[in-house]
Structure 1
Amino acid sequence: MLNGGNVVLIGPMGTGKSTVGKALAEKLGWTFVDTDAVIEEKAGTTIGAIFAEQGEPAFRKMESETIASVLQGETRIVSTGGGAVLAEQNRKAMKTSGFVIALRATEETIIMRVGNDENRPLLQGNAAERVRRILEERKHAYDFADFTIDTTDKPVEVIVDLIVSRLPRGEA
């Protein structure tokens, strides 16, 4: 079995973690879990509202609790928020409970995908500038992944097939 029997998708916002995660879960017959969606459901509000009303530290605490809880299951495809990797406890939980795959894309692709998304609290203001800054600040944050896929010009089906081909034998 995989470490803990899960696949964990990490990477900056706009790299396709949710889209790829849903397609991968469908292909493998596993459960898809988006940690941001779990947080919103538990909190009864949006991530943007959590940031605005309680601040980023409160959100990051909820995020760590959610990741720890979700990764206790097995045969799950877990899509994490882009900043989830900033906490060491989250990185450890991911590595011990799953096969970690980093998704990346070019700066231009990410800006195109998320630049107009008003529900992303870290993009308030000049989205292109914020994306550039976040990518620079986190450029090595995803290096602990078992492998990395650039999603820039790849169809979802191709990305899913690449992931399946890289999973340890007997897992898919």
Structure 2
Amino acid sequence: MPKRVVRPEVKSILIVMGGSDLRNLSAPMALVAREAFPSAHIRIVGGMSESGVDGAVDHFPLLTAERLAAFMQDTDIAISAAGQTTFELAAAGLPSVLVAIAKNQAQHIEHWPAAGAFVSAGWWDDQNFFSNVGRALETLRPASFRQLLSERGQSMVDGRGAERLYRLLNHVRL
């Protein structure tokens, strides 16, 4: 993917809480995002269809991989569940707040922020979860910090891993 050039202001936010939005977090995340960035356009991918948020909010229950990649390239920041989507966000260089919604996301919620690629808002069932998300979003306000996160994410994931694995497996003889 091309290297991201971060815009000076956050004008668009992508929310991805998994295809089924297991914890019904898309709408609350949209509310927290709207509070942090009142004029930003919000796109919700997967999950619920009604956000209850005033202003520009679009919902996309299903997207092709190509369309999601295009959204990631055209969005300023994201709030995402800390699942496999983190690899796509990193490859796109999209500065993101991660939230853990399932036990299998424990390594992602620890690894990515520790590596300086994303910001963690912690676990969905933390007592101060929504406040944590709001504070994490505030850290993404400076363009210089978003640029740093973008560069770190893209340095860790180039989006060519499946291709390398395919080539490796084609050279292995059983």
TM range (shorter): 0.3 to 0.5
* Higher gyration radius (CA): 2
The structure with higher relative contact order (CA 8 Å, sep 6+) is 1
More helix by share: 1
Relative to the length of structure 2, the TM-score reads 0.47
TM-score (normalised: structure 1): 0.47
